[in-house]
Structure 1
Amino acid sequence: MRTMTVLSRDWTFVKQAADAEEAARLPGESVEVPHTWNATDGQDGGNDYHRGTCWYVRQLDKPTDLGDRRVWLEFRGAAMSAAVFLNKELLCEHAGGYSTFRVDLTDHLLAHNTIAVSVDNTENDRVYPQTADFTFYGGLYRPVLMLVVPACHFALGPDGGPGIHITTNVDPHLRHATVEAQAWIEGDASEVIFTINETRRAAAVVDGHASATFEMDHIRLWDGLRDPFLYDATASLASGDEVACRFGLRSFEIDPSRGFLLNGRPYPLRGVSRHQDRWGVGTAISDRMMREDMDIIRELGATTVRLAHYQHAQEFYDLCDECGIVVWAEIPYITMQLSDGRANMLSQMRELVVQSYNHPSIAVWGLSNEITAATPVDDALLKNHRDLNDLCHALDPSRLTTMANVFMLETDSELLSIPDVNSYNLYFGWYLGELEQNDSFLDDFHEAHPDMPLGLSEYGADANPDIQSAHPEKGDYSESYQCIYHEHMLEMIQSRPWLWATHVWNLFDFGADGRDEGGKHGQNQKGLVTFDRSLKKDAFYLYRAAWNKKDPFVHLCGSRYVDRAEDVTEVKVYSNCSEVSLFVDGALLGTQRGATVFRFQVPITGEHLIESKSGACCDAIQVRKVDAPNPRYSLSCERAVSNWFDREQVDPDFYSVVDTFGDLRKNDKAKAVIDRTMKEAAASRGDVATRVQDNPALQRMMERMTFLSLLKQGGADEQSVQQLNRVLQSIPK
């Protein structure tokens, strides 16, 4: 019989040591695992969080009455590379911070033992990720377990897999499924007993492998949110070892015109992306925190989640299985191809597929994310993607592959022909351009490639809930503009059912230590929910209104926008009810019928209680008329650059900030001015922005933008804009 012991206590963390012997000798800090050493400095900005080799040390007594049983250690996440020493002897090395790996201790055990694990998140050119817009937390941030198994046991070594795989072929119309159960064995065994739904099959072991086929009629489908039913499968050996998993019976299809189909029916995948970290905790999150994240996804009514940009904890895939959330799973092959990273890229994909194979929630394997942001589409990049694609299909012929393409990637690129389906990350209306360009980009692609399924893998706008505006605009980091942005994007998505999947970037704010913007340090603030999960931004309720039809509610936007200088203020209500009434100081202002977004114009003269009601649902906010905008609602620098230019005298024979990038770059002096400004702006957005600013495709897209639009996006104050304009006005055309 297999036993499992969680090794959470009695670890010593040593931040720096020359080797395992020194690490075991130093006093260090007493910690519990899961643990990350970047829980604080990885979230405070400055791009200066500790990246190095640290150590975890623990004493381990040899289990009593061991006999011929084997002792393994299982590490469920050691970021980013790890080496395991037992009594100063190196037993195992592993590269990749997001997957499970195991090491057999048995033949090296003494009565009393010292385990020393070096964990390294140092920058290098061989282990992904290295360039991306999130913090690469270091540590033993997922559980460590000791497994004791019989001499003959289900495989623990290869690729960290569970030892059992379930492959299904489902006919949802006939309610019939063919299920193949496979197991891999280490040791001397003649047969495996597979059990599914109380039906047993004996299968002979040949070269360490056994398989059995089950024909199942009158099946109950895994049917997304409607009915995420799970079956149980077990495999057992005469030695007493047993492994188990859950699986679901479902079929997935992706059609270029009908979108995603679940069990033969259109099933729009509309949802969010998730990073696993949390404020003050980093990646060392608990099961309770994962369940809280899933509760928020369910409240939202999402049908899908993109688990970005790496393999997430198996416990979270379990939650997706249980709750009927369709998953996009991917590896951290991201932003920039590493010069010596090919082997690691392939091994991380192999581990993702092998370890996550049984989860019915997973629909697609993601090959890469925005890899062309800082990497040219050359023979090496194409070969890597073809090999990743082939590897996925060899390991798992039942699922499709996809990739998330940066919006600068040309829509006729050869790269797009490699995965089964494609998606784009679009940020028009935030980083550059206007909101309507999202619509035209998708429509143009769909028209040019009618047989190629297309999704929207990322879209979003940063919002600090403390920042509010009566006149929100792109780049102001206001909660108000985030609402406008997502209102447009939601409407756009709803009118394009052929989009096979759409994922908001992001469900939660997350750690990006290189960022310093929007009034916060070290955070990407595109989340619909704050980093600590304590506050749902207004835009969260927009999607809840559109996607969650089961739980009626009304939500009044602007609860944090109390002091208002305008005489008539717009009050928006997000609701999944068909009729909403608005009351001001107890008096009915009006009633509207419609869907999702209800807008009211409310005259204000003093302090007012505003209430929205629909049946038993209600919400309320308070507003107060003030003489001037409250400065606490804006960034520390003044952003009043919208109308000042109308007052400036511009000589059309000289360059100015209202000229386009394309025109400015034709002149060496003007180009030097804008390049210097862009470099300074990129620095505030961290490592990734600095590396992609010279991307030629991005430069082509920006040629039609005005310099003024960039300055507004970057939060420039009026004085800075005026000064830059005067510099340009000294350069003749």
Structure 2
Amino acid sequence: MRTTISINEDWLFTASQIDPALPDLSVMETVNLPHTWNAEDGSDGDDFYHRGVCWYAKKIIRPDGECVFLEVEAASQIAEVYLNGTCVGRHQGGFSSFRIDLTETMRPGENLLLISVDNGESEKTYPQFADFTFFGGLYRGVKLIVVPKNHLKLEAGDPGLHVTAELLEDGSASVRTDTGIHTGTRGTFCFTIEDAEGRTVEKNVTEKGEATFTLREPHLWDGVKDPYLYTARVRLEESGDEVAVRFGVRQFSVDAELGFFLNGKPYPLRGVSRHQDRQGKGWAVTEADHRQDIELIREVGANSIRLAHYQHAQYFYDLCDEAGVVVWAEIPFISRFMPGKEAHDDTISQMRELILQSGNHPSICFWGISNEITMKGESEALLQNLNDLQELCHAMDPTRLTTMAQIGAVSLNSPTNTITDVLAYNIYLGWYVGKTEDCADWLDERKHAQPQRALALSEYGADANYEIHSDQPKRKDYSEEYQCLYHEGMLQIIEERPWLWGTYAWNMFEFAADKRNEGGTKGQNTKGFVSYDRTVKKDVFYLYKAYWSKDPFVHVCGRRFVDRVGETTEVKIYSNQSEVTLYCDGEKVGTKNGSRIFRFTIPLAGEHTLRAKAGTCEDTIRIRKVEEPNPDYQVKGGGNEGVDWYLDEYGNRQRLTEKDGYFSVFDPIGMILANPGGAEVIQSLLKQVAAAFTKAGEQQETPKVDENLMEMIKGISPADLIEMSAPKLAGQVLPPLNEMLHRIAK
């Protein structure tokens, strides 16, 4: 028999260093798991949070049973485990589970378990540089697993049973079950397949550690419409050790022109990305938190999720299986490539554990091998690392497709574009740089250059502080209204390009990014459709619901934009119904037929109650006329001025000017370089950007304007480059650079 014992309660914790041989438990505080020490400082926006070694301790009684294993569901990022002063194991990688055999070291009665967890900077494990907080801690939970001496595999978080289901041409399904235990192991294995009601539909008793079944008329896992799940079970007859896993029977493919297919039918993947943290908890979230997230994702109508940028909790993958959403699962090989062998081996280890531990989930259709990993350039070592990951994925799991999220500025000629089975790009035209409509030409250019490649949008989005509002929204003003305007444009662009095999809005939820302090929000990336604490659905949430959801609804935008100036105001309504009627103070304003977005204009005079009706659905908001704009709707320290400003040395907002007939920091870098004298200015800019990323003691090299770098930056302006790469230098770099450019005639 196998017994699982949760030991999440009553741990001791300290950020101080202790001697595992002679620990002083009196300096430690009591905590429960899941736990992180960065729940507060990881999202306060000061670009500093505690990173280093912390310790957990717990007294445990040896349970009855022949063998005892410790299972740690996640420890960010490097963990060492001590039992009664003896180091019994180590694990590197902050997102996968691991197990340690305690049997020989654990004594009868009371034992002292110590776990050190280190989320400090390292050249050995990913991630180390990215736009999110790396929370430290035992943030998923810990348990003991008690098994007989003759037991199924427990190493490296192995589920003990792996299932591969293949849909055959005659409509039947071949289901292969494998324990990973083969020749040389004595025992009798009883394999069974159960339907969703728990009825046994197939059974095989064998002395081999594997069995293959044929399901004549399989019930398919058919996405959100019908996410049907079977259960596979294996039992070692001699010892009684048993494990069960769920699986689904489905078939999928991607066509470069027609997109994603599920079970032979077109199934456009329209999804969101998700980080696992939330306000006040960091990564230490509960099962209830996970359930709320999947419910919100399904409410908005998404049928796919990109689980960025690391392995997520097995419980969340279970929820995805149950909800029928197609999953892109990936490892944190992100942003900054580390060329050492240990870092290379870390990517291999993290990918191996992701596939090993998550391979039974039918929701997972894509293994993601990297995210924006060419951000700081390309090298032979990087190409080798990516190719090694590609080969590993196919060796371990030939049934799924590989993909990667490329930074949008990557060269079309980059060899990294041809490594994975399918490809995707992170594109933020309309937010960080350029205009939203530029994305259409950008996508078409990539498609024309790579006609045989299946392409997707892995990220796109715009930040919005839901307390910031404007009746004249523009890029980088952080208003809720601009976020909607941006996504209205992006959704139209996506709809016109059915060849995109998937699209993933960034992001479903706001998440912690401690280095950020912008738009009136500290320590968060605010591109989410839903607030960091999950209490506020921004207007953009309902825009996507209008496109994706079949559940009838109507939503009046601007419920937080109460105070409005002017003689009239626009009332915008999102709905998936074809007809919407608006009432103002009980009087009918009008009825409009259309699709998804409905606009009305009403006169402003005092306070108004606005009510929209669409079929049986209703929604109401209240607004009022004011003489002056409400200062609470503006980013503190100034108006919603977009990108044409910087903070001087005193923290005051100053405007950057343009000069007729001359260049400025708002002109494209490629255009500046084409002009005599422009190269010198751009070299000065790149030197200052490089300095921002050079560690103390390292020699700084001025980047050369080579073909690849030019391809990446030619379409953006110096102001955009500084804002993306070193925003804190804006006040130092941009004003003198602007003056230099004002002396160069166009």
Q: With structure 1 as the length reference, what TM-score do the two structures score?
A: 0.92
1:626 to partner: Cα distance: 1.4
**Letter in structure 2 aligned against 1:195:** T
Tell me the residue number matched to 1:371: 373
1:190 to partner: Cα distance: 2.2
Tell me the residue number matched to 2:356: 354
Q: For 1:711 and 1:502, how far apart are their aligned partners in 2? A: 28
Provide the secondary structure at the position in 1 that maps to 2:357.
helix
Q: Provide Cα deviations, 1:374-427, integer angstroms capped at 9, x if missing partner.
A: 2x2221111111110111111111111000000011123211111100000000
Q: For 2:241 and 2:701, how far apart are their aligned partners in 1? A: 51
1:601 to partner: Cα distance: 1.7
Tell me the residue number matched to 1:661: 669
- Conserved 8 A contact 1:12-1:56: yes
Tell me the residue number matched to 2:739: 727
Q: Provide Cα deviations, 1:294-322, integer angstroms capped at 9, x if missing partner.
A: 11011011110001100000000000001
Please state if 1:95 is matched with 2:92.
Answer: yes
- Conserved 8 A contact 1:84-1:93: yes
1:110 to partner: Cα distance: 1.4
Tell me the residue number matched to 1:471: 472
Q: For 1:520 and 1:579, how far apart are their aligned partners in 2? A: 37
Tell me the residue number matched to 1:686: none
**Letter in structure 1 aligned against 2:114:** A
Q: For 1:263 and 1:103, how far apart are their aligned partners in 2? A: 40
Tell me the residue number matched to 2:249: 249
Tell me the residue number matched to 1:183: 179
Tell me the residue number matched to 2:423: 422
Q: Provide Cα deviations, 1:412-466, integer angstroms capped at 9, x if missing partner.
A: 3211111100000000001111112211111111122221100100000000000
Tell me the residue number matched to 2:115: 117
1:503 to partner: Cα distance: 0.5
1:657 to partner: Cα distance: 4.6
- Conserved 8 A contact 1:221-1:229: yes
TM-aligned CA distance change 1:659 to 1:637, over 3 Å: same
Q: For 2:500 and 2:626, how far apart are their aligned partners in 1? A: 45
TM-aligned CA distance change 1:719 to 1:307, over 3 Å: closer
Q: For 1:179 and 1:575, how far apart are their aligned partners in 2? A: 43
1:25 to partner: Cα distance: 4.0
Q: Provide Cα deviations, 1:506-550, integer angstroms capped at 9, x if missing partner.
A: 00000011111111111000000000000000000011111111x
Tell me the residue number matched to 2:101: 104
Structure 2 residue corresponding to 1:137, chosen from 132, 135, 138: 135
Tell me the residue number matched to 1:336: 336
1:474 to partner: Cα distance: 0.5
- Conserved 8 A contact 1:611-1:620: yes
TM-aligned CA distance change 1:354 to 1:722, over 3 Å: closer
Provide the secondary structure at the position in 1 that maps to 2:446.
helix
Structure 1 residue corresponding to 2:83, chosen from 68, 83, 86: 86
Tell me the residue number matched to 2:433: 432
Q: For 1:691 and 1:161, how far apart are their aligned partners in 2? A: 46
Provide the secondary structure at the position in 1 that maps to 2:315.
helix
Q: For 2:272 and 2:659, how far apart are their aligned partners in 1? A: 47
Tell me the residue number matched to 2:602: 602
Q: Provide Cα deviations, 1:672-710, integer angstroms capped at 9, x if missing partner.
A: 886699799x89xxxxxx999999756645444455777
- Conserved 8 A contact 2:531-2:538: yes
Q: For 2:375 and 2:422, how far apart are their aligned partners in 1? A: 20
TM-aligned CA distance change 1:607 to 1:182, over 3 Å: same
TM-aligned CA distance change 1:556 to 1:109, over 3 Å: same
Q: For 1:150 and 1:561, how far apart are their aligned partners in 2? A: 63
List runs of 5+ in structure 2 lacking aligned partners.
195-199, 646-654, 694-699
Q: For 1:707 and 1:398, how far apart are their aligned partners in 2? A: 45
TM-aligned CA distance change 1:625 to 1:699, over 3 Å: farther
- Conserved 8 A contact 2:475-2:643: no
Q: For 2:615 and 2:380, how far apart are their aligned partners in 1? A: 62
- Conserved 8 A contact 2:476-2:643: no
**Letter in structure 1 aligned against 2:458:** S
- Conserved 8 A contact 1:23-1:55: no
TM-aligned CA distance change 1:78 to 1:722, over 3 Å: closer
TM-aligned CA distance change 1:49 to 1:23, over 3 Å: farther
Provide the secondary structure at the position in 2 that maps to 1:21.
coil
Moved more, 249-258 or 606-615: 606-615
Q: For 1:669 and 1:63, how far apart are their aligned partners in 2? A: 71
Tell me the residue number matched to 1:404: 405
Q: Provide Cα deviations, 1:362-383, integer angstroms capped at 9, x if missing partner.
A: 0010010000012x22211111
Q: Provide Cα deviations, 1:451-497, integer angstroms capped at 9, x if missing partner.
A: 11001000000000000000000000110000001001111111111
Q: For 1:730 and 1:587, how far apart are their aligned partners in 2? A: 56
- Residue correspondence of structure 1 range 34-433 to structure 2 within 5 A: 34-64=34-64, 66=65, 69-111=66-108, 112-157=110-155, 159-171=156-168, 174-185=170-181, 189-197=186-194, 198=200, 199-205=202-208, 210-238=209-237, 239-340=239-340, 341-374=343-376, 376-433=377-434
Q: For 2:312 and 2:701, how far apart are their aligned partners in 1? A: 26
Q: For 2:347 and 2:382, how far apart are their aligned partners in 1? A: 12
1:18 to partner: Cα distance: 4.2
- Conserved 8 A contact 2:411-2:711: no
Tell me the residue number matched to 2:492: 491
- Conserved 8 A contact 2:475-2:642: no
TM-aligned CA distance change 1:704 to 1:426, over 3 Å: closer
Provide the secondary structure at the position in 1 that maps to 2:353.
helix
Q: Provide Cα deviations, 1:618-651, integer angstroms capped at 9, x if missing partner.
A: 1111111112211111112334758999x99976
Q: For 1:702 and 1:623, how far apart are their aligned partners in 2? A: 44
**Letter in structure 2 aligned against 1:225:** V
1:607 to partner: Cα distance: 1.4
Q: With structure 2 as the length reference, what TM-score do the two structures score?
A: 0.90
- Conserved 8 A contact 1:529-1:537: yes
TM-aligned CA distance change 1:105 to 1:129, over 3 Å: same
- Conserved 8 A contact 1:168-1:178: yes
- Conserved 8 A contact 1:505-1:526: yes
- Conserved 8 A contact 1:511-1:523: yes
Provide the secondary structure at the position in 1 that maps to 2:100.
strand
Q: Provide Cα deviations, 1:103-127, integer angstroms capped at 9, x if missing partner.
A: 0001111122111100000101011
TM-aligned CA distance change 1:692 to 1:251, over 3 Å: farther
Tell me the residue number matched to 2:696: none
List runs of 5+ in structure 1 lacking aligned partners.
684-689
- Conserved 8 A contact 1:610-1:621: yes
Tell me the residue number matched to 1:460: 461
TM-aligned CA distance change 1:440 to 1:476, over 3 Å: same
TM-aligned CA distance change 1:705 to 1:357, over 3 Å: closer
- Residue correspondence of structure 1 range 656-695 to structure 2 within 5 A: 656-657=664-665, 659-662=667-670, 664=672, 666-667=677-678, 670-671=681-682
- Conserved 8 A contact 1:77-1:142: yes
**Letter in structure 2 aligned against 1:85:** Y
Q: For 1:469 and 1:542, how far apart are their aligned partners in 2? A: 18
- Conserved 8 A contact 1:657-1:728: no
TM-aligned CA distance change 1:720 to 1:567, over 3 Å: farther
